[in-house]
Structure 1
């Protein structure tokens, strides 16, 4: 990221046609995370997922390119705020020392759940690709939640 100035925060929201407890479980259960996390074109091997959902706990996983398994993107975040069923927030120190924060909030909306995510900082030119990545992952999450049996 040399030469890029992180100046923006990504903010995206999505309606999920599932109750809040099912969405919370999909965000925190290692088996379910492995099933949906990451943009289309990447997979998360279940054996790379380790989650300890508490303040000071962690979320660790590795996204692997489906086209080239040598291309990986590890996640090693520490939870800074956990309100079961409502808020999951954390931070990750990136190579070079920058700290990336992520906050996910869940709220009841009609017969489903509104998931709102804030992540950053990003250089302006990376907000679009990061947003597209989350939208892609959430499409996979929609499918998982629609299955019902796996996420309930």
Structure 2
């Protein structure tokens, strides 16, 4: 199994970085790689809570996922299981949603924030190639977050 870690500096306080992962409007402003939009972010940020988030591809296909929270240290740390789902939040196999083999049905995430710095860890990819694919998407999404924080 392969994990990935991305650390990014932002010109933003911890509160804004926290909101980017926990508040609907903030998530919708940046979630998904360049060219994608986020039409839905129904956030239920509490241990045991499940957020439902969609990213829309440039050709209009909605890719749904759930974030099931396992640990929350308010303003500092989120741990959740990212799962692929349908629009009703029912689990789906990522390959059925068009993703390549090697992406697990659930990807544990750890997000930490402090003033000016965010770290995202994703765990459990089948191989380095699959982890690199996810890293590329995450880094593109974080580029959008940086732009959203300055607008």
TM-score bracket relative to the smaller structure? 0.7 to 0.9
Unaligned runs of 5+ in 2: 85-91, 94-103
SS of the residue aligned with 2:29?
helix
Q: Give the TM-score normalised by the residue count of structure 2.
A: 0.81
Q: CA RMSD in A?
A: 1.6
How many Å apart are 1:116 and its aligned residue? Answer: 0.5
Q: Residue 20 of structure 2 aligns to a residue in which SS?
A: helix
TM-score when scaled to structure 1? 0.81
Judged with a 3 Å threshold, the aligned counterparts in structure 2 of structure 1 residues 13 and 79 are, in CA distance, closer, same or farther, namely: same
Residue 129, structure 1, aligned to residue 130, structure 2 = no
What pairs with 1:86-125 in structure 2 (closer than 5 Å)?
Answer: 86-94=76-84, 95-96=92-93, 98-108=105-115, 113-123=116-126, 124-125=128-129
SS of residue matched to 1:36: coil
Does the 8 Å CA contact 2:70/2:81 hold for their aligned counterparts?
A: yes
Are residue 32 (structure 1) and residue 36 (structure 2) matched?
A: no
The CA distance in 2 between the partners of 1:33 and 1:10, in whole Å, is 21
Q: How many residues align?
A: 133
Structure 1 unaligned regions, length at least 5: 1-6, 148-152
The residue number in structure 1 matching 2:62 is 72
Deviation at 1:134, TM superposition (A): 0.9
Matches within 5 A, 1:1-12: 7-12=1-6
> In 2, distance between residues paired with 1:131 and 1:32?
21
Corresponding residue of 2:50: 58
Question: Which of 1 and 2 has greater Rg?
Answer: 1
Report SS of the residue matched to 1:92: strand
CA spacing shift, 1:115–1:99, aligned 2, 3 Å: same
> What secondary structure does 1:41 align onto?
coil
Distance in 2, matches of 1:144 and 1:98, equals 29
1:51: Cα distance to partner?
Answer: 0.4
